[in-house]
């Protein structure tokens, strides 16, 4: 089959017709991809800033159709439409039972790689490998959705929407009337913005270094937009000199995490949504953490429960309270993924979406 492959970090991705997929084993299903979004984490893996096993088939924001069940698997049945979850909850560990299934680590990667390229093993990015025509995943990673949800809409729910909206409603549990700052207005950032609007936060202040992204931020509900240089002055003005109740960092860099943290009020909360790299430490003095009671929260996959949150987000979309179509700036084929990585830095693309 056809798929995108990265052989060496820092090198461009290639498209290969020489990928092969093995049948699903016990506990697994085979899914035919129908749509997949291009997320910044895919690029970070290809550039070596996030860990990934090579050769890599990237892509972790996908939706498709179940086409085969492994031995003993009872569902989702063949024909089901599913969103792929890059953290499959096992359902039985302390995290799953304790209400934090996004932290489940019990579902291990398959013993035998699901993919080969030219006869050699290849590895599905984040266990799902959505930039290929098909993928074999743990059945618990295939979350069924209603048949009438367009695959394109379903795909973006699989990462950007759950991560961004989840950061607001699950991780931070923002109360109406809270002041919110969002640094980074890409595919994930605009979902933090629309999550904040949904939570009736005000003001919702968006910051990005690319001016064109600020127009998108406004369209998704930001009440004010700023360049990074304007932030320090404007933050004071917009919050009556206090600082923000909440600051969301959606870039994944120590510098912007510091910026977010410094923009919060005493007792305010910073949520780190961006996926940063292991060699980029963030420093805080012991005194500042103690003396101002500013809080710092991590956020993995929107602190969500994919078994209930995908459906919850789709209900909000159906009710017209989340704009998911508006996230999709352009449709590409697998051949366009390399170029979509480059377009990420430009102003006019929120999400490039691979259709099959
Ligand atoms: N200050 C402000 N904005 C910045 C800065 C900065 N120093 N550096 C980058 N940005 C902006 C970019 O201009 C872009 O609009 O951050 C945005 C990042 O958006 P995308 O590239 O679309 O990335 P996205 O897919 O939204 O992911 C954001 O979340 O899932 C993680 O790995 C992902 O860390 C990444 C983050
Ligand atoms: Zn992602």
Q: In this predicted structure, what is the pLDDT of residue 41?
A: 95
Ligand nearest to the backbone CA of 248: 1
Mutate which of 234, 251, 277 to test ligand 1's pocket (most atoms within 8 Å of Cβ)? 251
- CATH code at position 36: 3.90.180.10
192 close to 246: Cβ distance less than 8 angstroms: no
In this structure, is residue 56 part of a structural domain? Answer: yes
Query: On the CB side of 105, how many CA atoms lie within 13 Å of its CA?
Result: 2
172 close to 348: Cβ distance less than 8 angstroms: no
Average confidence (pLDDT) over 55-73? 98
Ligand nearest to the backbone CA of 158: 2
* CA atoms of 35 and 29, how far apart (whole Å): 17
278 shares a domain with 174: yes
Dig out the tokens for 235 from the structure. Answer: 């933050």
In this structure, is residue 310 part of a structural domain? Answer: no
206 shares a domain with 108: no
Cα 255 to middle of ligand 1, angstroms? 12
Q: In this predicted structure, what is the pLDDT of residue 220?
A: 98
**Is 126 near ligand 1, meaning CB less than 6 Å away?**
no
Q: By alpha-carbon position, which residue is closest to atom 5 of ligand 1?
A: 209
Q: In this predicted structure, what is the pLDDT of residue 345?
A: 79
Summarize pLDDT for 187-237 with one digit per residue, the tens: 999 999 999 999 999 999 999 999 999 999 999 999 999 999 999 899 999
Looking from the CA of residue 344, the nearest atom of ligand 1 is 21
137 shares a domain with 170: no
Q: In this predicted structure, what is the pLDDT of residue 239?
A: 97
Summarize pLDDT for 151-167 with one digit per residue, the tens: 999 999 999 999 999 99
343 shares a domain with 264: no
Average confidence (pLDDT) over 82-107? 97
211 shares a domain with 138: no
Average confidence (pLDDT) over 127-140? 98
131 shares a domain with 193: no
270 shares a domain with 174: yes
- CATH code at position 237: 3.40.50.720
Q: In this predicted structure, what is the pLDDT of residue 289?
A: 87
Cα 316 to middle of ligand 2, angstroms? 20
3-class state of residue 151 by DSSP:
helix
**Is 250 near ligand 1, meaning CB less than 6 Å away?**
yes
195 shares a domain with 111: no
Strands 142-145 and 81-84: antiparallel
* CA atoms of 244 and 225, how far apart (whole Å): 14
288 shares a domain with 328: no
Looking from the CA of residue 44, the nearest atom of ligand 1 is 32
In this structure, is residue 156 part of a structural domain? Answer: no
In this structure, is residue 281 part of a structural domain? Answer: yes
Cα 119 to middle of ligand 1, angstroms? 36
**Is 351 near ligand 1, meaning CB less than 6 Å away?**
no
Average pLDDT, the chain: 97
* CA atoms of 259 and 229, how far apart (whole Å): 11
In this structure, is residue 314 part of a structural domain? Answer: no
Q: Which domain holds residue 285?
A: 163-301
Strand partners, 246: 180, 269
**Which residues have a Cβ under 8 Å from the Cβ of 65 and sit 6 or more positions away?**
31, 32, 34, 79, 80, 81, 82
Number of domains in the chain: 2
In this structure, is residue 254 part of a structural domain? Answer: yes
In angstroms, the Cα distances linking 331 to 68, 310, 334, 354 are 27, 22, 10, 6
First-last CA distance in the chain? 12
225 shares a domain with 184: yes
331 has a pLDDT exceeding 90: yes
Long-range contacts of 14-18 (CB under 8 A, 24+ apart): 15/334, 15/335, 15/337, 16/117, 18/117, 18/118
**Is 207 near ligand 1, meaning CB less than 6 Å away?**
yes
Dig out the tokens for 11 from the structure. Answer: 């090198």
Average confidence (pLDDT) over 251-269? 97
329 shares a domain with 291: no
Dig out the tokens for 52 from the structure. Answer: 């990934």
340 shares a domain with 233: no
Average confidence (pLDDT) over 245-260? 98
In this structure, is residue 214 part of a structural domain? Answer: yes
* CA atoms of 9 and 195, how far apart (whole Å): 34
67 has a pLDDT exceeding 90: yes
Q: By alpha-carbon position, which residue is closest to atom 23 of ligand 1?
A: 40
Dig out the tokens for 156 from the structure. Answer: 């973006």
pLDDT band at 257 (very low <50, low <70, confident <90, very high): very high
The phi and psi torsions of 355 (rounded to 5 degrees) equal: -115, 155
In this structure, is residue 197 part of a structural domain? Answer: yes
The phi and psi torsions of 275 (rounded to 5 degrees) equal: -90, 100
Dig out the tokens for 114 from the structure. Answer: 């699901």
């Amino acid at each position: 089959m056809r798929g995108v492959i990265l052989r060496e970090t820092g090198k461009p991705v290639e498209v290969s017709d020489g990928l092969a997929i093995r049948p699903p084993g016990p506990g697994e299903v085979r899914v035919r991809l129908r749509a997949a979004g291009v997320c910044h984490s895919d690029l970070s893996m290809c550039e070596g800033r996030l860990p990934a096993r090579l050769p890599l088939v990237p892509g972790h924001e996908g939706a498709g159709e179940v086409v085969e069940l492994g031995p003993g698997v009872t569902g989702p049945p063949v024909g089901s439409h599913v969103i792929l979850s890059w953290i499959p909850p096992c359902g039985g560990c302390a995290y799953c039972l304790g209400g934090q299934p996004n932290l489940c680590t019990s579902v291990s990667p398959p013993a035998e790689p699901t993919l080969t390229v030219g006869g050699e093993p290849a590895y599905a990015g984040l266990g799902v490998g959505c930039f290929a025509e098909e993928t074999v995943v743990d059945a618990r990673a295939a979350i069924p959705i209603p048949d009438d949800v367009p695959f394109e809409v379903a795909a973006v729910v699989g990462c950007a929407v759950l991560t961004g909206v989840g950061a607001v409603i699950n991780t931070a549990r923002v109360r109406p009337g809270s002041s919110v700052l969002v640094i980074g207005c890409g595919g994930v950032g605009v979902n933090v913005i629309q999550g904040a609007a949904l939570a009736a936060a005000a003001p919702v202040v968006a910051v990005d270094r690319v001016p064109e992204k600020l127009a998108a931020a406004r369209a998704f509900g930001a009440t004010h937009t700023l360049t990074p240089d304007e932030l320090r002055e404007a933050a004071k003005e917009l919050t009556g000199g206090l600082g923000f109740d909440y600051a969301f960092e959606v870039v994944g860099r120590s510098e912007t995490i510091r910026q977010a943290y410094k923009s919060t009020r005493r007792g305010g909360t910073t949520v780190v949504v961006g996926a940063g790299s292991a060699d980029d430490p963030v420093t805080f003095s012991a005194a500042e953490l103690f003396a101002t009671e500013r809080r710092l929260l991590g956020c993995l996959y929107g602190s969500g429960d994919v078994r209930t949150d995908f459906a919850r987000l789709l209900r909000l979309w159906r009710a017209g309270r989340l704009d998911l179509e508006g996230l999709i700036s352009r449709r590409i084929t697998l051949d366009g993924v390399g170029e979509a990585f480059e377009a990420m830095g430009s102003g006019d693309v929120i999400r490039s979406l691979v259709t099959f």
